[in-house]
Structure 1
Amino acid sequence: MNSNRIKLIDSLRGFSLLGILMANLLIFQYGIWGKDEINIDTLSKLDVFSLQFIKIAFESTFLPIFSLLFGYSLIKLVESIKKRRNKSRWHLIRRGIGLLVIGIIHSTYIWEGDILTFYGLMLFVLLPFIHRKAKTLLIWSAILVVLLGVLSYGENVSDKTEQAEMQQFIEETNNVYANGTYMDILDYRKNAMPPGFEDPIFIFFLLLLSPIFMLPMFLLGMAMAKRQYFINPAQEKRSYLLGWLFFPVGLVLKLLAYKAGLVAYSAIFTQVGGQLLAIGYILIFSFLYSKFSNKFIFTALESMGKLSLSNYLMQSIICTLIFYGYGLGFYNHLGVFYSIILGGIIFCIQCGCSILYVRFFRRGLIEHLLRVWTNLSLSGNIRKSAHNHMDNSNLKL
């Protein structure tokens, strides 16, 4: 199976892990809710610039990249299964369940900023789209982008009571995560609920609407896979130049999200701009890959991408040990600029370890376990169906 891997996709996946780490470092240091309530007046000018850089260049942009790659890989998985079996439904259901289990374990016992649970749930949302034509997927993706803009319009206004409650919750969270033991943080994570999230109806609608915000990128990735995009980078090089159109448009929209007079459009600019910027990153990266794929940086990113699940989980373990009270205790102390430096160091170390690892092993441990469960095979490979095996035997006779 490794011989059939698309190297550009692996490199893109490695690249997306860099952006996800940079965005997540705000959560590791300030909390899921605290990262959007950082008091700018307490930061140095360098930290203020670094904060703006992360929010514009990374936040709401690299998760869409990962979503597109997830949709792309989902179609390639279906194609691989169909080469060996007649149906892929149960493989995909098991894969979704596997991601859900890993995500729940991750969010419960390691770090609450997990995305794997969301991807496990999204796989079930994507099932009805798997056998649709690429054109249909593109149309649905465009429709949902428009719907996304409609749903995002408006200024999120909270009264003083809600603001005070949220501030108190953030202060409690900061104290527990900065000074608490592992069991203190585990207990707090299980029982503490941010203001406004106690209402089950609100939670229901949040879960119902959340897939819409990322679904366009999943569907776009699926459409690209059906059209065999990214398989021949050298031949597709000219089409990658479109990235230079998406990049500035997405960047301008994200910059506008921070303009004071456009508060009502802030969420629209952030979401839509983030996805357009993500497409720009993907195409520009692909263009560079088509010219310099033999360079060391792309080899490193490819190795990182092959072990994306293991590396994502390892980032959580490393960063919680650095920031939380049961580790080095740098929570809310390191600063935004130095967290970027830290992120670069962590990522480089992971790239080096990944290069060494793939020289000796085909898959990461977590990747292998997920494949074993998905394919019900100890080797992790997709087994041929009995029907296909009998057909092949008859042909030999």
Structure 2
Amino acid sequence: MWRYDGRTPTADSKVTGVRAVDRIAEIDALRGFALFGILLANIVFFASGYPAHLAADPAYASRLDSAATWLIAFLIDTKFYLLFSFLFGYSFTLQIDSAARADARFTPRFLRRLGGLFVLGILHAVLLFHGDILTTYALLGLILLTFRKVSTTVALASALMLTVAVAVTVLLAGNPVAVDSTAALIEGARTTDAFRGGPGSVIAEHLRLVPAQLASNAGQAPLALSAFLVGLAAGRGRVLSDLDRYAHLLRRIQWIGYPVGLAGALVFASGGGTRNTGTLAVGLLTAPLLAAAYGASALLLLRSRMGSRPVRGLAAAGRMALSNYVGQSVICVLVFTGCGFGLVGRIAPSLVILVAFAIFGCQLAMSAWWMGRHRYGPLEWVLRVITYARRPSP
């Protein structure tokens, strides 16, 4: 495993002076991999107004388009935000260590960071993407803070109980965001028309979608917190810092995660996804296992000889993941809404996937260029100023 200081790869070296500890490339690369999955999940909400109301766009009902929609539900939906959440929990332990090395109080730092994330998330949700996750992360971070001193066993047990409790609640109480199909089609058309307008129309529609999005986030939040706690446990064991030691664990995660996770994903995608209470419950139970298998596979690949080049490309994107996450929304707004080309509702789902690949390819190139010249991404720099209450050293 090689480590790097953000610009030049080095061979298992410790950095002296400004940087106390090298960044571990595989962690950033895994974050970059998760970022691509999130783009694939989110872009459908920019490309059409119907998914926001749990409906398929009736203009695209061909076999190819249906297959593309099914594939996203099968492999992507409800999986990658869990991987990103796991990394949030893992990074929490790294931030604790960073404060300890600097002999600084951790809690004020972390609270300032959460405040910055919350404000940024509000702006993101109103101006760019109603499905923002940053505000949810900021609020859940307050709960994560209370778990700071619990044992690893308690953290993992709490994660398991949260996942099971959410699935059982959905199964017994029903899907809180479900609507009837006729209303969904009407609302989907309304949202699509609103997104074809200018900035005022887009922002107004984002605000109108707030209640539905809050209900959706309420369903996602417990699972995100569960992934936070698994990340907290993994961070304490420094799993991602010593992949050779934990390679057997990663393979075991694959052996369990893929059979169970793919079986659950098949039920989820084929049975109606989030529109069906039963399939949603199955998806919620099994998505964490498939997300874990994805992460394990990515790490095993990235630590191999074949993975050296992907590590370099993905790591740069992962180092500025916050900027890239918001940047994806900026690009999608320009491509799909009336603020730019106005292509919402005019691109088939099968082609939307190709658009996502093109966007992420551009982000990989831009990230490599930017991180070759700067220590932090633009929004990472802003968040660091807020976290440390001072300008970062160059």
Fold similarity call, TM over 0.5: yes
Q: Which of 35-44 and 343-352 deviates more?
A: 35-44
Q: Which of 43-52 and 208-217 deviates more?
A: 208-217
| Distance change >3 Å, CA 364–CA 193, structure 1 → 2 | closer
| Distance change >3 Å, CA 258–CA 79, structure 1 → 2 | same
Residue 102 (structure 1) aligned to one of 120, 132, 141:
120
| Distance change >3 Å, CA 156–CA 87, structure 1 → 2 | same
Q: Which of 80-89 and 257-266 deviates more?
A: 257-266
Offset of residue 213 of structure 1: 2.8
Verify: 1:316 aligned to 2:329, yes or no: yes
SS at match of 1:297: helix
| Distance change >3 Å, CA 173–CA 311, structure 1 → 2 | same
C-alpha distance in 2 between matches for 1:151 and 1:297: 40
- Paired residue for 1:136? 154
Residue 184 (structure 1) aligned to one of 201, 206, 209:
201
Offset of residue 365 of structure 1: 1.3
Larger radius of gyration: 1
Asked whether the 8 Å contact 1:369–1:380 carries over to 2, the reply is no
Asked whether the 8 Å contact 1:303–1:358 carries over to 2, the reply is yes
The 5 Å alignment of 1:240-389 reads: 240-242=250-252, 243-260=254-271, 264-292=277-305, 295-379=308-392
Offset of residue 188 of structure 1: 3.2
C-alpha distance in 2 between matches for 1:232 and 1:10: 14
C-alpha distance in 1 between matches for 2:93 and 2:127: 31
C-alpha distance in 2 between matches for 1:35 and 1:314: 24
| Distance change >3 Å, CA 253–CA 209, structure 1 → 2 | closer
| Distance change >3 Å, CA 49–CA 2, structure 1 → 2 | farther
Normalising by the residue count of structure 2, what TM-score does the alignment of the two structures yield?
A: 0.87
Structure 1's unaligned 5+ residue stretches are 382-397
Q: Deviations over 1:217-241 (max 9, x none)?
A: 1100000001111102233222211
Residue 213 (structure 1) aligned to one of 220, 223, 233:
223
Residue 132 (structure 2) aligned to one of 99, 107, 114:
114
Q: Which of 107-116 and 337-346 deviates more?
A: 107-116
SS at match of 1:27: helix
Offset of residue 305 of structure 1: 0.2
C-alpha distance in 2 between matches for 1:2 and 1:288: 28
Asked whether the 8 Å contact 1:68–1:221 carries over to 2, the reply is yes
- Paired residue for 1:147? 165
Identical counterparts, % of pairs: 26
Residue 226 (structure 1) aligned to one of 230, 236, 255:
236
Q: Which amino acid aligns with 1:101?
A: V
Normalising by the residue count of structure 1, what TM-score does the alignment of the two structures yield?
A: 0.86
C-alpha distance in 2 between matches for 1:350 and 1:161: 36
SS at match of 2:372: helix
C-alpha distance in 1 between matches for 2:128 and 2:300: 37
- Paired residue for 2:8? none
Cα RMSD between the aligned structures?
2.7
Offset of residue 304 of structure 1: 0.6
C-alpha distance in 2 between matches for 1:161 and 1:23: 21
- Aligned residue-pair number: 372
Residue 23 (structure 1) aligned to one of 41, 46, 51:
41
